[in-house]
Amino acid sequence: MLGGLARRVSHVMKVRAEQQPVLVVDSGDLFSPYPAALDAEKAQKKARLLGQAYRRMEVGAVNVGCLDLIQGLDLLRQEYSQGLPLVSANLLDPSTKTAIFPPYAIREVAELRVAFFGLLSPELGPEISPAVRRVNEGKILIGDPVKAAGEVVQKLKERADLFILLSDMGLARDQEVARAVPGIHFILGGHEGRFTGRAHRSEKTFILQSSAKGMNVGHLRLTLKNIGLPFMDAGESLYLQEKISFIDSRLQGLKATRESQSAKDTDLDRWIQNLNRQRSTLQEELKKSRQTIPQRNRFLFTTVPMEMTLPEDEEVKKRIAEMAIEKD
């Protein structure tokens, strides 16, 4: 996390300097105290540093994730009071059954009203559940994510143009919510540390992840024709072209093998015919995709690895050095 933090801040500042309309968000587990060897004092320092860096990036919304709860509700409330826009629709006060933090945040960009809301998994898992319970006993209740999502979308349907769920639940739970709650355009997920180079689709909702510990910055670029229309994945044509290129490579190898043989190989011919049929089908799909894209709302999801060669934000770099916390 800290190993790429200064690079991530620098990257965001660069995008902002290019005068692009941009919103920065986080799906959760920002304040993860891991590695486990980190003592409590250093974990608190690390959390405060992360909060400072995210405020420097002018982040629009940060979902409260499962690992964040290990730091304790008091620290999260301190960060929220200092301007970090934490959101969670299903982290509840046990006595009142109301949300501890705002369930959602509505941000405007390029005249588009975007509602970000957060959810975390009710199943914390045996590795972290004892630690969460130890520091938050009697202070928190994790509600049903489907119920919470439905309430947010229903409440905001006249106040927002675009609904984006920041999820720390994992792909299976994300798909469950997408199926049960129409109207969510995108789910920016986490919890499992997955990397998805291609969007998962459930109903009309697209689910995206960009791996763990901030190793990548995900870019979701939107092109709107009519907000009432569904979105299509502009990266689909790139995916289809990659599959065609892979088939071309296999065909080239198989044809070279056939030409080198003196006798006819019927099995080899069948393989070549089958690959040619697959290629023709993919070419048709690619043609339709390219014809449809200009008339539709579309998105393109890409990731930028926070490689060591990228520039670092000097202010954040200095703070990391002053705290002498091992980079993870």
- Kindly report, residue by residue over 178-237, the tens digit of the pLDDT: 999 999 999 998 766 565 667 888 888 999 987 666 677 888 989 888 888 888 888 777
Burial of 97 (0-12, 13-18, 19+ CB in 10 A): exposed
Q: Which two tokens stand for residue 209?
A: 């992840």
Higher-confidence position of 261 and 191: 261
Give every CB contact of residue 168 below 8 A, 6+ residues apart in sequence. 27, 28, 29, 63, 64, 65, 66, 118, 119, 120, 121, 189, 190, 191
Environment class of 116 (CB within 10 Å of its CB; exposed 0-12, middle 13-18, buried 19+): buried
What CA–CA distance (Å, rounded) separates 145 from 89?
A: 8
**What is the structure's pLDDT at 269?**
85
Q: How confident is the model at residue 292 (pLDDT cuts 50, 70, 90)?
A: low
Please, where are the H alpha helices in 261-293? 266-292
pLDDT digits (tens, 9 = 90+) for 144-180: 999 999 999 999 999 999 999 999 998 899 999 999 9
Q: Which of the residue ranges 106-120, 129-143, 305-319 would you say has the lowest mean pLDDT?
A: 305-319
Q: What share of the chain is helix, strand, coil (3-state, %, to 5)?
A: 45, 20, 35
Closest C-alpha to 14, from 166, 234, 298, 217: 217
Say if residue 327's pLDDT is above 70. Answer: no
Residue type for position 219 = H
Q: Which tens digits make up the pLDDT trace of 85-100?
A: 999 999 999 999 999 9
Report residue 145 as tokens: 């994510």
How crowded is residue 297: how many other Cβ atoms within 10 Å of its Cβ?
18
Count how many Cα atoms sit within 13 Å of the Cα of residue 204 in the half-sphere of its side chain: 13
